[in-house]
Amino acid sequence: MKKCKKLLPVIVFAVLALFSALMTVTASAAGEYRVIVEDFDNCLTKDEKASLVQIMQKTADKIKLNVGYCITADLDGRTHQYYSDYRLDTNFGYGSDSVMLVMVNSHDKPEYANATDEISTAGAAKSCFSTSLIENSIFPRIYEGLDNTSATSVGTPMKNVYKGLSSAQYYQACVEYCRALEAYSTFGGKLLSFVSEHIAELFMAMVVAIIISLIAANATKSKYTKKKPLSANNYIDKRSIQQKRAIDSFIREYTTSVKISSSSSSGGGGGGGHSSGHGGGGGRHR
């Protein structure tokens, strides 16, 4: 008991250090998330862009990611994947927790014959939204809005901004994009990214926790003294056992055969041509 009292200040200090480390990690994760609407092909009205910024900000704050929406007819000599990564990095920073939707209006240019709408992800968003999720779940939701000929927005929408589509349809595409992000965002993905970003602080917290455990274990162990070496002979009353003879009897023999498969399976696909540090997936060619 006296030893435990002597160790109490050490334990208290270790607990405070652990708490401080965890508080540092939590504080570094906090922050305001940003949004951006880029309309390089004039497919949205001023009122629609202002409204989308408000909608996207609510989504960004809810899913704890930066959210971007870009409409373009010029990929600046890049592939559609690299261009979406470029817009994400330009607006939010390389490696930031961000997701960026780029709607590519090809205008039937030969150089854009293979270009598609694209979503780029980075940081926590990369783990939250896999390529299959983007292509099979998020983009279908986006096209529900884009293909809705009865789509409405705010103010007075523009008609026939691109191949018969109205500005209201581009507006609704972004609305559905935000709804899909909220529906499919996962805590697990953000947690994995958070751990990878703050591994140093978490490692320090683990070391402090281990030190506390060792101190407590040694304090408990010191209360006990080993009287004799560990041996089964210590538990045998030799006066009560008399061995007459020893006989080895063969009973039977079993042989077991186990076949081990040499084949192996591979994992899923990657980001589909995105630059280093990015993930994402593609939609339609338009």
| Interval 23-61: pLDDT, tens | 444 333 445 899 999 999 999 999 999 999 999 999 999
- pLDDT confidence of residue 227: 57
Type of residue at 209: A
Q: Strand locations in the chain, DSSP E?
A: 35-39, 66-72, 98-104, 118-122, 279-282
| Interval 222-233: pLDDT, tens | 666 555 666 666
Place of tokens 């261009």: 83
**CA 257, CA 132: separation in Å to the nearest integer?**
41
Listed in sequence order, the residues at least 6 apart from 168 whose beta carbon sits closer than 8 Å to its beta carbon are 48, 151, 152, 153, 157
Would you say 173 and 142 are in contact if contact means Cβ atoms under 8 Å apart?
yes
Evaluate if residue 127 carries a pLDDT over 60: yes
Q: Which long-range contacts (CB under 8 A, 24 or more apart) does 244-250 make?
A: none
Reference 126, options 273, 271, 7, 275; nearest CA is: 271
- pLDDT confidence of residue 269: 34
**CA 49, CA 38: separation in Å to the nearest integer?**
9
What class has domain 32-185? Answer: alpha beta
Would you say 12 and 34 are in contact if contact means Cβ atoms under 8 Å apart?
no
**CA 138, CA 255: separation in Å to the nearest integer?**
55
Number of H helices, E strands in the chain: 9, 5
Kindly indicate the confidence band of residue 268, based on its pLDDT and cuts at 50, 70 and 90. Answer: very low
- pLDDT confidence of residue 30: 44
User: What are 39's strand-pairing partners?
Assistant: 71
Q: State whether residue 40 is helix, strand or coil.
A: coil
Place of tokens 């009122």: 47
**CA 37, CA 71: separation in Å to the nearest integer?**
8
Q: State the helix-helix crossing angle for 2-29 and 199-221, rounded to 10 degrees.
A: 170
Phi, psi for residue 120 in degrees, rounded to 5: -110, 140
Listed in sequence order, the residues at least 6 apart from 16 whose beta carbon sits closer than 8 Å to its beta carbon are none
* DSSP state letter for 274: P
Range with top average pLDDT, 118-132, 183-197, 211-225, 257-271: 118-132
Place of tokens 């208290």: 12
Question: Which residue has better confidence, 215 or 243?
Answer: 215
- pLDDT confidence of residue 177: 98
- pLDDT confidence of residue 26: 39
Kindly indicate the confidence band of residue 203, based on its pLDDT and cuts at 50, 70 and 90. Answer: confident
